[in-house]
Amino acid sequence: MAETTIPPDTPVREPGTASGRRPTPVRLRHRTGSTAGSGRMAGLLVSPTLLVLTIVVLYPTLMALRQSLYGPKGLDAKTGFISTSEPFVGLRNYADVFGAAGERFWNAFWNTTFFTVVTVGLETVIGVAMALIMHKAFRGRALVRAGILVPWAVPTAISGLLWRWIFNSNGIANAVLGHQILWTTEGFHAKIAVIVAEVWKTAPFIGLLVLAGLQVIPKEVYEAARIDGAGALRQFWHITLPLVKPALLVAVLFRCLDALRMFDLPYILVGAQKNSVETLSMLAQNEASNVRFGPASAYAVILFLYVLLIALAFVRLLGADLVGDRDGRKACTSRRRWIPAPRRAEAAA
């Protein structure tokens, strides 16, 4: 084999180049200017919403927190004179909640919790049933949908007056039951009246949101389950309920936040200062109407924290699906690792 001598002046070509010259490195330009411009544009677009939230939510919350640190005007125990300004009492309004004066607060707190748990539970069951009925294809479905959604469209004040007429001593409820029950007085029957009226009013709201979730489920899923021999109950439990879970949780979250702030329905249906149905919102309003703004603000702040904790708990619950997806992807990845080499080759082919 003959030897080939390369002259010393001949440039050596590197692989992947057309000549012996080395390729000039390409510098990547950082788009810092465009990123900063996008950030400023995003800030400008969000600023009106943040301004409205600051005026409507943040400022009243801070003012209520500040007002809760002051006591009502009245006789000053130290000087013996009537105070013309609200004295600073610190956390005494919050400490009174755990004292002898907190009996009314805890009664309102447990009433609020009881109404929230019972009404939201009943509304969830009835709302899902309404959604399943409205989702079925049958003659007159539009009329049924309109009839189901009418209670939700009625204003709460009008609904309270309507049910007050129904639960009157000579109303339709006593005529149907055949007993004389004073629904709008003190007692457990007053709670039942509020629960019935609240469930009738807001169960269609959950049904509407669940119906939106049902309409995005492909029909092929039910056809495949039907071919596999799954009955209606198994289809509901293993297909419908898991797929409408996000919409259902959002509906339950909205209803919980609304029920915790319940005020107008029991106020109109039963009345104010009724221990059986008094909620935290009614208690705060009653204290404010009696010019006791300090305790009223303290009750409002506690209610705000209560609603915030419930909202955070639901957000964590809604985020559980994301964690589950990650776990599912990890499980799929781990299962792929256990696939033998021949199967991998077949899959690649």
Q: What is the pLDDT of residues 132-156, one digit of tens each?
A: 988 887 787 888 888 888 898 899 9
pLDDT exceeds 70 at position 333:
no
The reported pLDDT for the residue numbered 346 is 40
The reported pLDDT for the residue numbered 206 is 93
Work out the average pLDDT over 207-235: 88
pLDDT exceeds 90 at position 9:
no
**DSSP of 203-252, one letter per residue?**
HHHHHHHHHHHHTTS-HHHHHHHHHTT--HHHHIIIIIHHHTHHHHHHHH
The reported pLDDT for the residue numbered 191 is 94
The reported pLDDT for the residue numbered 329 is 43
The reported pLDDT for the residue numbered 78 is 66
Q: What is the pLDDT of residues 313-329, one digit of tens each?
A: 888 876 544 334 444 44
**DSSP of 127-195, one letter per residue?**
HHHHHHHHHS--TTHHHHHHHHHHHHHS-HHHHHHHHHHHTSTTSHHHHHHTS---TTSSSHHHHHHHH
Q: Which residues pair with 75 in a beta bridge?
A: 82
Residue 193 near residue 167 (C-beta atoms within 8 A): yes
Q: Around 306, how many Cα atoms within 13 Å sit in the side-chain half-sphere?
A: 20
Q: Which residues pair with 88 in a beta bridge?
A: 70
The reported pLDDT for the residue numbered 347 is 40
Q: Which residue has the tokens 């990547």?
A: 28
Q: Around 209, how many Cα atoms within 13 Å sit in the side-chain half-sphere?
A: 20
Work out the average pLDDT over 181-210: 92
Residue 318 near residue 246 (C-beta atoms within 8 A): yes
pLDDT exceeds 50 at position 204:
yes
Distance set, CA 349 to CA 237, 331, 342, 344, 345 (Å): 39, 24, 10, 8, 6
Residue 188 near residue 219 (C-beta atoms within 8 A): no
Work out the average pLDDT over 204-220: 90
pLDDT exceeds 80 at position 21:
no
The reported pLDDT for the residue numbered 256 is 93
Query: Residues 181, 173, 167, CA angle at the centre, nearest 5°?
Result: 70
Give percent of the chain with pLDDT exceeding 90: 33
Work out the average pLDDT over 293-300: 91
Residue 132 near residue 214 (C-beta atoms within 8 A): yes
Q: What is the pLDDT of residues 96-107, one digit of tens each?
A: 888 877 889 999
Residue 215 near residue 295 (C-beta atoms within 8 A): no
- Secondary structure class of 88 (helix, strand, coil): strand
Greater confidence, 59 or 349? 59
Q: What is the pLDDT of residues 237-284, one digit of tens each?
A: 888 888 998 889 889 999 999 999 999 999 999 988 899 999 999 999
pLDDT exceeds 70 at position 210:
yes
Work out the average pLDDT over 211-233: 88
Q: Output the pTM of the full model.
A: 0.75
pLDDT exceeds 70 at position 123:
yes
If we measure between CA atoms, which residue out of 82, 193, 218 comes closest to residue 182? 193
Least confident of 91-105, 165-179, 248-262, 288-302: 91-105
| Phi, psi for residue 82 in degrees, rounded to 5 | -80, 125
Q: How far apart are CA 279 and CA 92, in angstroms?
A: 22
> Average per-residue pLDDT in the chain?
80
Q: Which residues pair with 267 in a beta bridge?
A: none
The reported pLDDT for the residue numbered 334 is 36
Residue type, 180: Q
23: confidence class by pLDDT, cuts 50, 70, 90: low
